[in-house]
Structure 1
Amino acid sequence: ALALSIGNALSYDVFYKGLYPAAPVSRQLFVARLAIIAVAGLAGWAALAAPDETMMAAPAAFSLAASAFLPALVLGVWWKRATSDAALAGMVAGLVVCLYYMIAPHIIPFLFYESSSFLSDATAAQIATYEGLRYDYYLAGDAAAEAAVLAKWEASARPIANWLGVHGALAGVFAVPVGFVVTVVVTLFTHAPSKDVQRFVEALRARSA
């Protein structure tokens, strides 16, 4: 589906609209097929070159998309009271939470863990190791010893810098509910859409039912 979307976009938006506006439909279809083959080939090459990264990239992409768009799409169609400001707020909130959970445990593992340690799935042994290395770090006598202990301390922090043991690629588990809550709350504090907009939503809902 993504390959088809990208191929059609390249064929229509880049080739037809940008480079060759007079191109016949047959030429557009030919370019779209070539683009689909090229995109699929590049995707296959990337998957073979870095299979582990590709396996994690797929759920991460879905998490980002769901975190940003799912609340707005669902509430926009099934709740005619939802407002555009609320949808935007929910999209931003979901995206921020998703990116934070994906990035922060790797960039700022100490701050992430310390600020939400009650949500971590750390075992007693992992916590003991973490606290022991913290103690050793502050008692280190010189810069070299500090650097060595800090590296071990950071390595012990990364595995426990999580919420309920959820992998960063699945950040949408937390971000999507946040997007729904923010959209609903902001909607309740903003003016209802116009009657025309509400009628449009009802018609859209009827078509999708």
Structure 2
Amino acid sequence: MYLELILELCSTFHLQTVMIELDDPGTVQFGLDGFVCQLSVLEFGVALGLYIEKFIGDDDFSALHFHIHYSPSKYWMALVPASATYDPSRSNAIALSPSLRYLHAILAHTLTGQRESTGIVNTHDAYFLWSMMHGHIFDIAYFIALAIRHQTERHRKGAICMGPYVPCLTRYFGLLNTAAQSSLLTLIDQISP
């Protein structure tokens, strides 16, 4: 069942990135267990269990950043001051400090889903690490949607790394109709990289 849900989500996932306003995060659309779901990125974050209603109503929530506003080279230079120019396909994680390398490995095995290339610091990784280092707060749901979109692009080859996202969505939409299905997805959720 889990594999079917992942394949359905991956084959139907669409992130609307045409912005109406500068910081309009767009919408997410996907199929799951035969249902077509269309959510704002904010609602998607709630469905993933990232945000609660109280946090969403907070004044600070509207100030979350949805876009990478600077060149990845600037983030890289802040992370590795003595480094040469940034290249998203070649910039090596070994250049990072030990604590940032550790955080990068966690990102690569979870959020950014690049388990096969943990030695490379891609554009989103550089942004996430810089954000953590500087206390820059951003909308994680938007970047998870971007990561899922990247996983589902047609030219992408390799392992599909969806982490806990599918179990979270199935629970949110009440698509688990038996205790056995719920237990199985809970177990998968706990062992997902």
The TM-score bracket by the shorter chain reads: under 0.3
Structure with max Cα Rg: 1
Greater share of residues in strand: 2
**TM-score, structure 1 normalization:** 0.20
Structure number with the bigger relative contact order (C-alpha 8 A, sep ≥ 6) is 1
Determine which structure has the larger helix proportion and give its number: 1
State the TM-score, normalizing by the size of structure 2: 0.21
